[in-house]
Structure 1
Amino acid sequence: MPISIAVAMLLWGKVRGPEPVRILSRLAMIVFCQVTAVVMVFVMVNNANLIYGSWDDLLGTGNHVRAVPSVPPADPAAPGAATGTPAPAGDAKPPAKALQSFKGVDDPKVPNDVQKTELKGQLSGVDGEVLVWLPPQYHDPAFKDRKFPVVELIPGFPGSSSTWYGTLKVSEQLKPLMQQGKVAPFILVSPRTLLLGNSTDAGCTDVPGKVNADTWLTRDVPQMVLDNFRADPSPDRWGVAGYSAGAHCATKLSLAHPNRYRAGVSLSGYNDPAVEKDSLVGKDAKLREANNPVNIVKTAAQPPKVALYISGNKGDGYEDGQAIAAVAKAPTTIQVQETTGPHSSDVWKNMVPGVFEWLTSVIPAQP
């Protein structure tokens, strides 16, 4: 029994004073009990699904954008990809190595072997936590000279960097499959994507004057992984996966950056950024058009060498996958899988093993 109800029951018969005072006092007790009950239910749901990583995230008071610098192009052949604005010209100086310290995640739902670091994005101006899990082979002496493939894991909106590990149980499900050789030994990386303090979805996009979310995810975070772990630098050995709003990110980032990702996984995603009502990108006509995966495919100078796995129920991502498949040309490949069930973590959690077996077929373990 919540403490508020026990206190109300204890004090109910002890209220003194005129009748109006007694009535108001008891009404206040009832309201207090209702409020605490609602808060308790919310906390239980949040703890179960790891929707918000902190009270700052919930209240919209956390801001992880330190600055919004101009971002030099990563690849002269693809300046300004998916940002809606051209990147500045000039030679990009390689950033200093992002050597980081790591510690455990202070969350009982997240496995003890997941590591966390606080990263200051050198190119993006974004600051945020990044959670990393290493496959069982990583510390095996037989693999000491081996470089490992990487998959970035993008949560939905709102969402926490812990959700893939704590709710979808990605590392717990994949560890035995990696040990059995059914899934490649991927390094799993989940960065913060809730970046703006007013509970606005950045849409994994570089928005001039607001946030460099694309650069954070596709350059700062990967560079940190390369600087601190035996990660394979080849784009053929990198993938990105997401669910819901994170699925939209995974699709568009992989298509816009074939120089970083070989594969993308979308679980119940969408193409139009405006589907997310709190999307900063969806409110800008130019950015909205530029960040629709269908338009990215249509306007690409050449079809990106990317394999996509897109799943969703009818009305919840399935038709979006078909729309991309209709305009894609080789070497882009699209596998669209119809699913059943609600738009929920229970559905996505059950899909994790199959999704990573598909990723292994695209990014196999090195012999």
Structure 2
Amino acid sequence: MGLTSRTLLYATVLIALGCVGLTVWVWPRLASRGPLPVLGRLGAIVVTQFAVLLACAVAVNGEFEFYGTWDELLGHVSTAPAHIAELGTGSGVYAQHTELVQPAGPQGLDRVKGLPVGPPAKVGRVESVRIIGRRTRAIDPAFVYLPPQYFQRQFHRQRFPVIVAISGYPGGIMNLASFLHVPQTAGQLERANRLQPTVIVMVRPTIAPPRDTECVDVPGGPQAETFFTKDLPEAVKAAYRVGHDPSAWGALGYSSGGSCALQLALRDPKVYTSAAALSADYKVSDDLTTGSLFGSGPLAARRAEGHDLIWRLHHLPVPRVSVLVASSRQGERDYGPTLRFLKAVRAPMTSARIILPRGSHHFTTWVREIGPAMEWMGQQLTFPQDTTPAPRPPRRTAQAAAPPKRR
């Protein structure tokens, strides 16, 4: 019974309802005076409250994926990369044999509607994996969307562009598939020839849940920026046929994920050359969910300045990247900062915008923006010209190469 499974949720809800009903039924019998009835009433209250809170905790965790597995909840998570067994035909994972991308359980993918069903060469495929950080030792759950062309014979050596889609905090990868409809939208756009065949890697912004790491390398703490700029690209390039040039890589996200996407493109333009951000912040700050992201001492303020994107555009060389930002005139608190960010953009950087008349910091708004954002990003990414090496023909042995002897 998985930590995020509906079976566990239904079981805890039934237990909570049973405890409430049992408390109502036995309460009259515990109404008398004396130590035992008092202890009985206290016990009934404590057990009922615990059962109700447990059901709420399971429901919230299943929605936002603070913890994906029991081992993660209990802290029994290995930090060292592990080799995987050779994949059979029934594994359902098309990644090459690698220690950095491991097949995972459904991770909620079995609850998502509208995913490709049928032959992968016709409809594509979404895989559930874990990405292992070789440098950071982080283990991050991910969904990987592979377009139909990835499986077609004429593309068997072709590499593909990559979009790294990042969820908001505290949401997990389920939100990208279930609420934002990233893989479903990609399939629709590709069938309409509005998006080139693209591999999409869906991840969450934090590598040390439940802490919000904001894609920052924390001094003495989680190295989130290193994971997204070194570990994740290395793992994906080793496991899938994707482009190796930065022009084939872009980052996209909503809320905190959108902030991460912009941070990655402006701070690491040699890894990501485009970014699309829906309802993003343009400055990373400490709060209760992040803890201290920049450490202490005289260097802390300088580190914080480096993650203030408007400050970077005013004081540092502007990178050659393309960005798209989305906000709403009414209902979004980031509208003013979005305009200031766009005003600070200058060559060689280019920008685009989606400004709705009204919206909110919610999926009802982001679903309207995700299609245009993905279509825009597809126009920024270069379809890789390089291909995978051709298989070498078998070498002829000396005996086979020698001409037959005449008798």
TM-score when normalising by structure 1: 0.78
Which residue is equivalent to 1:88? Answer: none
| 1:116–1:58 distance in 2 versus 1, CA, 3 Å | closer
Distance in 2 between residues matched to 1:322 and 1:65, nearest whole Å: 42
% same residue: 24
1:239 to 208, 231, 250: 250
The answer to whether structure 1 residue 358 and structure 2 residue 370 are counterparts is no
Q: Quick check: which has more Rg, 1 or 2?
A: 2
| 1:60–1:290 distance in 2 versus 1, CA, 3 Å | farther
Report if aligned partners of 1:51, 1:163 keep a CA contact under 8 Å in 2. no
Which residue is equivalent to 1:177? Answer: 189
Distance in 2 between residues matched to 1:272 and 1:56, nearest whole Å: 34
**Aligned-pair distance for 1:250?**
0.7
Structure 2: 5+ residue stretches without partners: 1-13, 82-97, 117-124, 386-407
Distance in 2 between residues matched to 1:57 and 1:236, nearest whole Å: 38
Distance in 2 between residues matched to 1:278 and 1:186, nearest whole Å: 33
Distance in 2 between residues matched to 1:56 and 1:246, nearest whole Å: 25
**Aligned-pair distance for 1:21?**
5.4
Report if aligned partners of 1:184, 1:364 keep a CA contact under 8 Å in 2. no
Matches within 5 A, 1:179-198: 179-196=191-208
The answer to whether structure 1 residue 349 and structure 2 residue 367 are counterparts is yes
**Aligned-pair distance for 1:227?**
0.9
Q: Which moved more, 1:178-187 or 1:226-235?
A: 178-187
Q: Which moved more, 1:180-189 or 1:249-258?
A: 180-189
Q: How many residues align?
A: 335
Deviations 1:121-152, CA, capped at 9 Å, x for gaps: 22334333333221122112232232111011
2:163 to 136, 147, 151: 151
Distance in 1 between residues matched to 2:206 and 2:76, nearest whole Å: 9
Distance in 1 between residues matched to 2:314 and 2:70, nearest whole Å: 39
| 1:320–1:51 distance in 2 versus 1, CA, 3 Å | farther
| 1:145–1:55 distance in 2 versus 1, CA, 3 Å | closer
Which residue is equivalent to 2:135? Answer: 123
Which residue is equivalent to 2:274? Answer: 263
1:309 to 324, 336, 350: 324
**Aligned-pair distance for 1:248?**
1.1
Distance in 2 between residues matched to 1:66 and 1:141, nearest whole Å: 36
Which residue is equivalent to 2:68? Answer: 54
| 1:299–1:337 distance in 2 versus 1, CA, 3 Å | same
**Aligned-pair distance for 1:239?**
0.7
The answer to whether structure 1 residue 13 and structure 2 residue 13 are counterparts is no
Which residue is equivalent to 2:55? Answer: 40
| 1:262–1:273 distance in 2 versus 1, CA, 3 Å | same
Distance in 2 between residues matched to 1:147 and 1:180, nearest whole Å: 21
**Aligned-pair distance for 1:201?**
2.0
**Aligned-pair distance for 1:15?**
3.0
Aligned amino acid, residue 296 of structure 1: R
Matches within 5 A, 1:92-241: 100-107=101-108, 108-110=110-112, 113-196=125-208, 199-241=210-252
Q: Which has the higher contact order (CA 8 A, sep 6+)?
A: 1
Distance in 1 between residues matched to 2:360 and 2:54, nearest whole Å: 24
Structure 1: 5+ residue stretches without partners: 68-96
For residue 377 of structure 2, give the secondary structure of its aligned residue in structure 1: helix
Which residue is equivalent to 1:93? Answer: none
Distance in 1 between residues matched to 2:18 and 2:259, nearest whole Å: 42
TM-score when normalising by structure 2: 0.71
| 1:175–1:117 distance in 2 versus 1, CA, 3 Å | same
